[in-house]
Structures are given as C-alpha cells and as structure tokens.
Amino acid sequence: MKKQLVGAAALVIFIAVCRFVPHLANFSPMICVALFAGHFFKKRIAYAIILVAMVLTDIVLGLTTHYPMFGAWTFFTYTGFFAIMFAGTRIHSLTERVPLSALALLGSSLGFWVWTNLGVWLTSGMYPMTLGGFSSCFALAIPFLQHNVLSAGIWFVLLFGAQRIAHTVTSLQKRSSHGL
C-alpha cells in the first residue's frame, strides 16, 4: 500500500508539473496517465490521482491565469479522464500486447476528443445548437485531436516503457539476490 501511495503522489506531482509547463493545446500526458493509473493502481487510488491532480492544478491555474477554475466543461473533462482510467482497469497486459495497447490509446484519445468537444458544443455558447454548429465545433477541433493522439503515443512509450524497465530491473535484482 505504501508503494501505491508513493507512486500516486509522484504521479500527481508529475501531472502538476506537466500542466504548468507551457505546451501545445492538448499535448499533455493526461490521457496516458489516466490509462496508466487505471492499469497499475487500485481503483480508489487511481480515481484519487486524477481527481486530486486536476482539481489542485485547476485551482492554481485559475488563480494565476485568465482561465476560470471550473466551468461547465469541467464535467466533460473530468468524466472523460475517469472513463479512460476505468478502461485502464479493464485492460490487462497493456504493456505486453502492442496492438491492444495502441488500440486502447487511440480509442482513449478519440473518445476523449469526442466527449470533450461535445461538451464544448453543448456548453460554451461558441457554436449554434445546429448541425452546422456541431460540424464547425468538431472541424475546428481536429488540430486538438492530432496533438492529443501524438502526445498520447509519446507519453505511452515514456510512461509504460519506464514502468517496464523498472519492473525488469527489479526482477533481475530479486533473482541475483536469491543467487539465481
């Protein structure tokens, strides 16, 4: 349990750092972190990682930038990350099956993009509640999807790769300490 809490705290700090460092819109590790948290942590801890990291960083960003802390978009953003995290709890052998991993990552990115852009269309007032407004909202969001998919792929390789290396090193250390 202690390892889980230390890992969770490290992930919250990692998310905070990544959210505060300037980056392209939607070029962040959040989708990959949600999938990672769901896969490697107990459910309650995984949900807490996402919730604590998002709420704390949204408050800080709201106090230090011109962005509002919370809004109608919050529901869509947070539930999108929770859905990805939940998917991570259901996918076993994520790091061992590359096609499954790629599919989970692509599905998570696409699902998050659709869900949050639906939220933009429904709540922002930027687009008319017509088929044309819906189409415009999604057409203008395509660059965000591109950033999202690209960053998810990069962060997947980094996070899951680091975890795989750490697991391998730990296994080798255990073997050598037992004289195998």
Mean pLDDT of 85-96: 73
Would you place residue 109 in the very low, low, confident or very high pLDDT band (cuts 50, 70, 90)?
Answer: very high
What is the model's pLDDT at position 139? 97
Residue 138 has pLDDT above 90, yes or no: yes
Kindly report the number of other CB atoms within 10 A of residue 161's CB atom: 11
| DSSP helix/strand/coil, 165 | helix
Would you place residue 95 in the very low, low, confident or very high pLDDT band (cuts 50, 70, 90)?
Answer: low
What are the sequence ranges of the domains in the chain? 2-177
The pairs formed by 116-122 with CB atoms below 8 angstroms and a separation of 24 or more are 116/73, 116/76, 116/77, 116/80, 117/141, 117/144, 118/76, 119/72, 119/73, 119/75, 119/76, 119/77, 120/73, 120/76, 122/72
What is the model's pLDDT at position 158? 86
Tokens of 80: 């999108």
Residue with tokens 């990069």: 154
The correct answer on CATH 1.10.1760 for the domain covering 2-177 is: yes
Query: Residue 5: phi, psi to the nearest 5?
Result: -70, -40
Residue 41 has pLDDT above 90, yes or no: no
